[in-house]
Amino acid sequence: MSNLTSTSEFLLLEFSDVREFQLLHFFVFLAVYMIAVMGNLLIIIAVMLDHHLHTPMYFFLMNLALLDLGIVSVMVPKAMANSLLNTRSISYSGCVAQVFFYFFFGGSDFSVLTIMAHDRYVAICNPLQYETIMHKGACIQMAASAWIAGIVYAILSTGCTFANTFCSNQINQFFCEVPQMLKVSCSELYLLEVGLLIVSCTIAGGCFIFIIITYMQIFSTLLRMPTVQGQKKAFSTCIPHLIVVSLLIFTGVFAYIRPPSNTSSDLNILFAVIYAILPPLLNPFIYSMRNKDIKSALLKLTNFGLSPQTNAVKIILEKLCRIISG
């Protein structure tokens, strides 16, 4: 195979050769994308506008929603455009951008989830020191550290990926997925990316162990609480976070711990949808269902700046907020 380092574009995997199915894919992904965008935007707006939610926990939740919004926007719009226009191409620079921003948002996302576990630990296990430890400056520094860590991780991952030479420009996935790109690499530099992925998995595993140990201490403290009401309130803030972390970890494991050679294209697409799109889509629902503060803030949004002439808009917003809040 010839060296295609100077290629100006890559060819992505089609969802179907049949035009009708391509259009069906477009509308399905459009619906999924709109739900994910609206869900995360409602969380962001609710936290920004409701002063009752101006606490460290909801500050980090807003950061998480911003990152989820970024993750789902990295690949879905391009996939929709390709289906609508009946094309498979993505420019070289577009592919670089997809890889960079996916690693940036994904890495920052997991960092924020780890910080949120620490926040819950301090709030429940050291409540008297909470305001001292989790003050505004500390929260901003922790959030900034998560975003900076995502940028560094994205630069390293993108640099290692595109330092390779490629023997083919056909990627067996509907976006520029790094494992699929390494399969068409024809240089030894792919070992750099493999090594980086191993280090990344090790760090992610360490963070996951930290979260598990943190929650073991949290649950131990909760069981010693004197009132059932206090236990329920603490559980209502911990359970959604634990579900979100588990969803992210297990969808990633489900996607990558599989036979690499004999997986069909349809399964590749399914696995990618599960680990890349499902978490950002479900996170707003998970955080809203058991959280009365979020539910209340979302319902208040329907009364902001709406006159009697915009009653139809108010009804639509109310329905969206009630769907998000369960």
Task: Split the chain (326 residues) into runs of 10 and give each run's mean pLDDT.
Answer: 61 85 91 92 88 90 94 92 90 94 93 93 90 93 95 90 85 87 77 75 85 90 78 78 83 63 68 84 80 75 51 53 55
Predicted local distance difference test score (pLDDT) of residue 95: 93
pLDDT score, position 306: 43
Helix (H) or strand (E) holding 184: none
Helix 278-289, helix 292-300: angle, nearest 10:
100
What's the rounded Cα separation, in Å, for the pair 151 and 101? 9
Phi, psi (degrees; rounded to nearest 5) at 69: -60, -40
**pTM of this prediction?**
0.85
**Could you tell me the end-to-end alpha-carbon distance of the chain, in angstroms, rounded to an integer?**
54
Q: Which of 97, 252, 105 is nearest to 175 (CA)?
A: 97
Between CA 265 and CA 272, with CA 270 as vertex, the angle to 5 degrees is 95
Going along the chain from its start, the domains and CATH numbers come out as: 9-293 (1.20.1070.10)
C-alpha to C-alpha distances, 91 to 12, 98, 159, 169, 276, nearest whole angstrom: 10, 10, 17, 10, 21
pLDDT at 304: 54
The tokens describing 247, both together, are 């969803």
DSSP assignment letter at 225: -
Residue 66 to residue 45: CA distance in whole angstroms: 11
Amino acid at residue number 153: Y
Q: Please answer whether residues 186 and 1 qualify as being in contact, where contact means their C-beta atoms are separated by less than 8 angstroms.
A: yes
| 3-state DSSP assignment of residue 87 | coil
DSSP states of 241-300 as a string? HHHHHHHHHHHHHHHHSS-SSS--HHHHHHHHHHHHTHHHHHHHHHHHHT-HHHHHHHHH
